[in-house]
Every structure is written in C-alpha cells, then in structure tokens.
Amino acid sequence: MTDIKKIDDQSAKVTIPTVTRRSVSPRCDIHENDTAVILFADMPGVVTDGVNVQVHGDVLTMNGRSSVSEPERSTALWREYATRDYERAFRLGQAVDADHITAVIKDGVLRVELPKRASTSPHRITVKAG
C-alpha cells in the first residue's frame, strides 16, 4: 500500500466529505499476515457515525469527524492540542481484495482489515522424497 499525500488526477473522482475544521493525517500502523493487511489509525473522539472508509478504484480513503467539543461557557487555560478531523488516503496494491474490506472503530482507533486475494496467499508445497 502506498500512502498518498496528495490525491492525483487519476483518483480525483474520490469523494472526500467536506470538513469545516482543520483535518490532519492520522497516525497509522499497518502490518500484514498471510491472509490480510491490517491498518490502525488513531482518531480520538471519532465514533462509528463520524467515520467514513471507502475504496474508489485502487485508492482507500479514510475520513473521521471528531464528535468532541469544548466544554460550554469555559475558558481554555492551557491548550496543547486542538480537536481535529482526520483524513488520509492509501493506494492499494494488487494483492488486496477490495470487495471484502472491513472497518471498525473502537476507543478512538480505526481498524481496517484488507484481506488478500486468495491467489496471493502463500501456499505451502509439500516436498516429497525422490
């Protein structure tokens, strides 16, 4: 998978919901096993209704809208972070089965499982004695 910093012309048709607050690229971990590529993205404050994961062509896009708002009628005495929305895109390799991607968000972490196509999973070949 390739991180796309800037969606190029080829994938310009990808619809990214308009966000009014500042969007940042969420920090991601991606690891793979024999059957799938698994992606984790930190999106604190985002709930299931606020997250959008879609595949268009070979581009996977993730958007998260934070549901957190500042306490009412309060004054910020100290501020080290701002509540942001999240947005990031990756280009998928041929090995990913885009039709069976699943995503779940829990505790502010989005988990996307991208199964590999069966043909790309490694097959163990039994070596017989000659």
Partner 1 sequence: MTTCAMSWDPFRDIETMLSGLDHANDRAWSTAGATPGINVYATEETAVVTSELPGVQTGDLSVQLYEDVLTITAKRISDPAATDWLVRERPDLDFSRSVNLPFSVDPEHIEANLKDGVLSISLKRTADDRPRHILVNHA
Which residues sit at the interface with partner 1, rule CB under 8 A? Answer: 1-5, 24-25, 27-34, 37-40, 42-47, 67-68, 70-71, 73-82, 84, 91-96, 107-109, 114, 116, 120-122
Closer to partner 1 by CB, 124 or 130: give it: 124
Closer to partner 1 by CB, 8 or 15: give it: 8
How many CB atoms neighbour CB 35 within 10 A?
14
Q: Is 85 exposed, middle or buried (0-12, 13-18, 19+ CB in 10 A)?
A: buried
Q: How far is the CB of 11 from partner 1 (least distance, A)?
A: 14
In the three-class reduction of DSSP (H, G, I as helix; E, B as strand; rest coil), residue 33 is classed as coil
Closer to partner 1 by CB, 80 or 129: give it: 80
Q: How far is the CB of 15 from partner 1 (least distance, A)?
A: 22
Distance (Å, rounded) from C-alpha 82 to C-alpha 7? 25
Closer to partner 1 by CB, 15 or 120: give it: 120
Q: How far is the CB of 96 from partner 1 (least distance, A)?
A: 6
Count the residues in the chain.
Answer: 130
Report the alpha-carbon angle 59-90-93, nearest 5. 70
Q: How far is the CB of 27 from partner 1 (least distance, A)?
A: 4
Of the candidates 41, 63, 68, the one whose C-alpha atom is nearest the C-alpha of residue 52 is: 63
Distance (Å, rounded) from C-alpha 112 to C-alpha 45? 17
